[in-house]
Copies of this chain bind each other. A is one copy, B any other.
Amino acid sequence: MIGFMPPAHLVVAVDLVVFTIRADQLHVLLIERGNPPFHGKPALPGGFVRDTENLHAAAERELHEETGLNGHDFHLQQLGAYGEPDRDPRGRIFTVAYLAIVPDLPAPLAGTDASDASWVPVTQAHGLAFDHDQILADALEAARVRLEYTTVATSFCPSEFSVTDLRRVYEVVWGRPIDPRNFHRKVIATEDFVVPSGNKRAAVVGRPAMLYHRGSATRLNPPMLRHSEP
């Protein structure tokens, strides 16, 4: 299998950096490669772009194959193109990386093509195949920046969530604590960031939280400020 050369028109792939939050930790979806090169190594899920589909559709298809998600239950956005001549030992293969943000899936990967896929804490995701370490690092920084200026944080949450759930997203992705009171006021004050669902969380302990759905806003104005370390 060494030296396999893909058909000439298959020189553009898409790779996905799929983030979710499980147990208050940021996780990324990785597969274990079943073929050379990098046989047995962890890698980002991805595949070649088909003749009739555009880049975004290819990314959506891959995401569906790996997670079973479709519709608009996720955030999917292009990160950029990677094209070092030697990035793939099979030959000159360009890849377009996509950042995907999904809620913690109840039945994560059952019934999908990718039973070989698994969630790995980003803190432990090293030594990936190809240039995927670099792509993952870029994706992490992009996700942190997007939390500042957009409403993507809600894409980490299920359909119904509390303000505290949303705050945990910021704390986990940014890796620093946020004042609950000020965060609450800011989220509520930002128009169409979240809309009340009318329900309340069954309280395990303490006052039950009001629940919200994602609002229609996409940009955060003013942004959530992430300061440099104190």
The chain A residues found within 8 Å of chain B, CB to CB, are: 8-9, 11-12, 49, 51-55, 78, 80-85, 92, 94, 96, 221, 228
On chain B, the residues within 8 Å of A83 by CB distance are: 12, 49, 54-55, 96
In the complex, residue of chain B having the shortest beta-carbon distance to the beta carbon of A10: B11
Question: At the interface, is chain A mostly helix, strand, loop or mixed?
Answer: loop
From residue A110, how far is it (CB to closest CB) to chain B in Å?
32
Minimum CB–CB distance from A64 to chain B (whole Å) comes to 19
**Known contacts A9-B8, A9-B11, A83-B12; A92/B51 CB under 8 A:** yes
19 residue pairs A–B, Cβ–Cβ below 8 Å: A8-B9, A9-B92, A11-B11, A12-B94, A49-B83, A51-B85, A53-B85, A54-B83, A54-B84, A54-B85, A55-B81, A55-B82, A55-B83, A55-B94, A78-B81, A81-B81, A81-B96, A83-B96, A221-B228
